[in-house]
Structure formats: C-alpha cells, structure tokens
Amino acid sequence: MKKILLICLLTLSMLNAKDSVEFKYADKDIQRKNPTSQNFILSYNNIIKNVRTSVVNISAFKTTNNARVYGSPYYNNQQQVPQGASGSGVIISKNGYIVTNNHVVAGADQIKVSIADDKKEYGAKLIGRDAKSDIAIIKIEAKNLNAVTFFNSDEVKVGDIVFALGNPFGVGETITQGIVSATGRNRVGIVEYEDFIQTDASINPGNSGGALINSAGHLIGINSAIISRSGGNDGIGLAIPSNMVTTIATQLIDTGKYVRAYLGVGISDINEDMRSFYDNSSGALIISIEDDSPAAKAGLKRGDLIISIDGRAVKNASSLKNIIGSYSPSKVVNIKFLRDKKIDIVNVKLGSLDKQIASGTLNYKGMNIIPLPLDLQKLLKINFNVDGGVLVKDVELNSEAYSIGIMKDDIVVQIENSEITNIAEFKSAISTQDKKRIYIFRRGNIFAIVL
C-alpha cells in the first residue's frame, strides 16, 4: 500500500512540475569604452568626400499646356506654362552617364545638371527610361567625372550603416545617415517592379535619384521614395537596389529602352492552408497560363509551385515577377517547380513582354490605347453606369492628342455615334481621316473633344 501511495505521489509531483527557465546573462566582466577622445574624432568624412562629387543635382523643366493644368478641354487659352522639378542623380561613368529616377525627368523638355565643386551647369540628354522600375539614364558632355563604385546589392544586410546623398527641397548637397531596415521590400504600390532596400536614413523630396551608399562608400541603391503619412520623412525610405540599376541601365544605354522577358503565367502567393500541399515550401503558385505562351509550350500547369529560376530562390509571386523581369527576351532559363509533391525541372525559352503587350495595344495620334481592365469595367458600371471603353495608357509629349488635352488614364467611351468597348471597335471608328468627336470619361464626367 505504501508503495502504491509513493508512486501516486511521485506521479502527482511530476504533473505539477513546471519547466524551469535558465536565463542567459551578459558577461559580468564586460567593459565600457568611450568612443570620444581628445585625440580623435569618429567620422566618415573620408568616405563621403570620395562620393559627394558622384552625386548631382538635376533640374527638369517641362512646358505644359494650361488646358491640361486646369484639366478642362474647353479651356481655350493654349498658353504654354513652364514648370520645374528638382531631383538628384548619380554619375555611373567617367564620360557623363547619370542614373536617376524616371519620375524626376519624365516629360521634361529641358534637363540641367550641376555637380558639387563644379561651377558649370551642364545640359543633359535623356538616353532612356523605364517607368516600370522608375529608372532613367541621362548624359552630359563631360570627361573624367567621378563615377560611383557599385556594390552587389544581394550582399546588403539588415543593420548595415548607410548614407543617403542628394538635394532635398533644393537646399543643396545633403547627407543623412541610417541603417538598412529591410531588403526585398515589395508590394508597396509605387511602381510595377519593386525590390526595394528600406532605410531609416532621411530621404526627402529632392533626394529622388540620389545615392544610398554603405560605410565603404559603395553604391547599394538609388533613392526612390518614402512611405509617409505626413508627406515628410517618417523613417521609411526606399531605394532601388544596385543590381537592378545596373541591369536596366546597361540596356537603356545600349538600346534606349528596357525590354523584359515574359513567361505567360498568372501567379499568386500560397497561404498557410495551401502550404501543406507543397511540403511547406515557398514559391509562386501558378493560377493561370496564357495560350501559346513560353510557360504553356514548356508544359507548366495550373497548380505548379515555382520554387527557383536558374538556382535563384523564388520566395513569392513578387519575387518571381522580379526575377523574370531581370532577364532579356529569348533567354533560356531553368525552372524548378513542385507538382504533386514532386520536384520537377524544365527549361523555358522566355518571350518578350513588349511584344505581348503590343499585341493588345494601339497608338493613335500620340495616345497609347489598351483594353480596359476588367476590375475597372465593373467599377465604372456600378458607380457611373458606363458600359466599357478603352484606356489611355500614356500620351506622347507634344503629340496631337497631348496638345488638345487628352491625359493618361482617360477612358474613351465613344467616337462619333459608335460606342467603344474594345480595341477592335476603336480601330473601326478611326478608320477614316475625318475629324471626329471623341467622348472621354475622366473623374466621373464625360465630355467631348475633336481630334
């Protein structure tokens, strides 16, 4: 009986026992060192000194029709209104090539560049720009410039000390310090291709296009945007990583434009419920495949989870989009994917995104017309009782469409007596050379213009 009681007590004791916690303490002998001294000053001046003349101030001037300024095609006074914008750029070659943000120079009639410690103001020529990544290349006629040294942005680590160089608010050359807060930041909604380095170094208006450098003075990114509720610096600055910059800049310099590769899949992330079907792997889930696309020809299917491209890990849908967008058309890539919990590998010859887009677009009088996205069609029908139309994706500067006030994101809903719901109907309606009344939907209103 005593033996049974003892066992019961021991069992009860085990049930009531709690896991012990062993705290980890710092070394008791740790010493403090004073970073200040009468004999030396902590400074990065030597690093900054070598880079400051690689960063330039950019002034971009646009001549804008005041009919566009007031947003009304009925405003008859066609006076040209000069507008100026200020930003920054980084010298990437001794002979005058400069990288900046697309939004700094887009639509500019005239671009001026000034360099620290150089009294001369240089006129710059636009070489090429890529709105989808917010990168542009300009060039000045100069020699023996101080070109920046690039750092492999794949090796940037959270916690690295960084400096942001630029010309915020037009006050002049300014340098701020911080750390790398995050890498691979995407889904911010600023541009189509996002893979930002995040920093708490102060980035303000005018810093756009400036340099983000590490403590060795090497370029790790191009300052592009901030996330802010107030419009000022809230400690969340975003920079385009240097590897993306060099890839896009090379093609812009060589050809004047950047053409991305095309796979032809609709993709999404996988949630926690779905992850168990794919051995808890990360990747991009194929939810649709376009007919006659590179993906279709290679045998990829809906439900496949793409986990790597040429050995580069695919973390999510945005990651796949950025990786494919970094390749040139006709590139053959090795795609590793999961299907029915089995890993498979296939080689895919990528297509051209520009050709794919061009097959569904039309340029007329300087406006780039594309089909109206389905979600926008539904929104217009529900809120404004508008049945379809075609979207003005962009308007060429100084074109006929531009001069009469047609703007980006306008929706063409009717031409003469023909309602427009797709590209084919638009083509048919403009088939003659006569002047035409074009009905535009903009900000809740429909108005007519003659083109």
Asked whether the beta carbons of 194 and 185 are under 8 A apart, the reply is: yes
**E strands within 186-331?**
196-199, 211-214, 219-226, 237-241, 261-262, 265-268, 284-289, 305-309, 312-313
Q: Which of 88, 103, 195, 293 is catalytic?
A: 103
Which distant-in-sequence residues (6+ apart) come within 8 Å of 192 by Cβ? 132, 133
Q: Could you count the other beta carbons within 10 Å of the beta carbon of residue 310?
A: 12
Asked whether the beta carbons of 392 and 449 are under 8 A apart, the reply is: no
Which of the 8 DSSP states describes residue 17?
Answer: -
Going by C-alpha positions, the residue among 214, 283, 222 that lies closest to residue 247 is: 222
Asked whether the beta carbons of 186 and 195 are under 8 A apart, the reply is: yes
Query: Is 279 annotated in the active site?
Result: no
Q: Which of 153, 208, 242, 326 is catalytic?
A: 208
Name the helix (H) or strand (E) containing 357.
helix 353-358
Provide the 3-class DSSP secondary structure of residue 230: coil
Query: Is 319 annotated in the active site?
Result: no
Phi, psi for 151 (deg, rounded to 5): -115, 145
Query: Is 130 annotated in the active site?
Result: no
Q: Which of 54, 86, 88, 134 is catalytic?
A: 134
Please give the Cα distance from 160 to 260 (Å, whole number). Answer: 31
Name the helix (H) or strand (E) containing 429.
helix 423-429
Give catalytic residue positions: 103, 134, 208
